[in-house]
């Protein structure tokens, strides 16, 4: 490669826009991995057909390592966007191995899961520094004012990064997505059921509008 070719390659590399990277955040069991898996199923390319999906469980902290899904090309309403989506472990301020024992795990399994869960939370917090935006997934049957939600929203506002709030689990009878919208009216919001695929067209439209 000649001098000018090398120079051109370096200049192009310098100005090349990196892939937009969006994090899926929220408390444990909000449905982040269920939503991440659905996005991957809907939009993964043929070349990524073997990309593994995240494991889902009713026991909290099932996702204990962040999983990045690359180059998902999403199309909605005549617009398209290419994103990397990072499914992060659930954020928490406390992790007690006794809670896992109450779910039927042995003491050894519970302590191991607890250790991995703490490492997962640390990884999720570190990812906040490297993202271009966040999809904050909230369980619509829970109080929206949890500290995890308040802290994630505050971080996005402080970093001036885009945020999309998702009220998940609207298929459940006690879901109250309006409470989430009323709690954080300054941010765009969409109500879905990732489990049943409800309102996903609206979700993808909001995703492109917010991160496109």
Partner 1 sequence: MSDIQLDLVSENKLSAMAPIEKVRYIIGEVKKGKIMVLEKGLTPIEEAKLIEMTMAEISDDFVGIEIESYPRDSSPSFLDRIFRRDSNQKLTVVGPANKLRTLRKDKNLISTLVSSESR
Residues that bind partner 1 (CB under 8 A): 91-97, 111, 114, 118-119, 121-122, 125-126, 128, 143, 145-147, 150-151, 153-155, 157-158, 160, 183-184, 186
State phi, psi for 69 to the nearest 5 degrees: -100, 120
Query: Cβ closer to partner 1: 18 or 94?
Result: 94
Looking at the Cβ atoms of 165 and 200, the one nearer to partner 1 is 165
- Closest distance between partner 1 and the C-beta of residue 186, in Å? 6
Q: CA distances (Å), 94 to each of 13, 97, 101, 144, in order? A: 42, 10, 15, 18
Nearer to partner 1, 121 or 191 (CB): 121
CB of 19 to partner 1, least distance (A): 24
Distance CA 103, CA 96 (A): 12
What's the closest the beta carbon of residue 144 comes to partner 1, in angstroms?
Answer: 9
Provide the minimum distance between the beta carbon of 34 and partner 1 in the complex, in angstroms, as a whole number: 23
Count Cβ atoms below 10 Å from residue 134 Cβ, excluding itself.
27
Minimal distance, residue 97 CB to partner 1, in Å: 7
Across the beta sheet with 163-168, what order do the strands follow?
Answer: 67-76, 79-87, 20-25, 133-139, 163-168, 189-191
Report the residue number, 20 or 151, with the smaller CB distance to partner 1. Answer: 151
Q: What is the DSSP letter of 52?
A: P
118 vs 141, beta carbon nearer partner 1: 118
* Partners of 85 in the β-ladder: 22, 69
* CA distances to 54, 102, 134 from 51, in Å: 10, 33, 22
User: Phi/psi of residue 45, each to 5°?
Assistant: -85, 170
């Amino acid at each position: 490669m000649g001098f000018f070719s090398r120079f051109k390659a370096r200049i192009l590399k310098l100005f090349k826009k990196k892939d937009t990277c969006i994090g899926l955040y929220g408390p444990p069991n909000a449905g982040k991995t269920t939503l991440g898996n659905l996005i991957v199923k809907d939009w993964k390319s043929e070349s990524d057909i073997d990309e593994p999906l995240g494991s889902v469980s009713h026991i909290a902290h099932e996702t204990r390592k962040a999983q990045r899904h690359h180059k998902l090309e999403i199309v909605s309403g005549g617009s398209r966007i290419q994103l990397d989506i990072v499914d992060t472990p659930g954020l928490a301020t406390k992790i007690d191995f006794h809670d896992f024992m109450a779910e039927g795990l042995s003491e050894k399994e519970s302590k191991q899961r607890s250790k991995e869960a703490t490492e997962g939370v640390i990884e999720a917090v570190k990812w906040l520094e490297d993202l271009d935006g966040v999809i904050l997934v909230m369980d619509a049957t829970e109080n929206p004012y949890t500290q995890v939600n308040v802290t994630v929203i505050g971080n996005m506002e402080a970093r001036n990064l885009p945020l999309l709030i998702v009220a998940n689990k609207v298929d459940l009878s006690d879901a109250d997505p309006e409470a989430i919208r009323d709690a954080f009216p300054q941010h765009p919001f969409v109500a879905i059921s990732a489990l049943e695929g409800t309102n996903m067209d609206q979700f993808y439209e909001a995703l492109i509008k917010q991160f496109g």
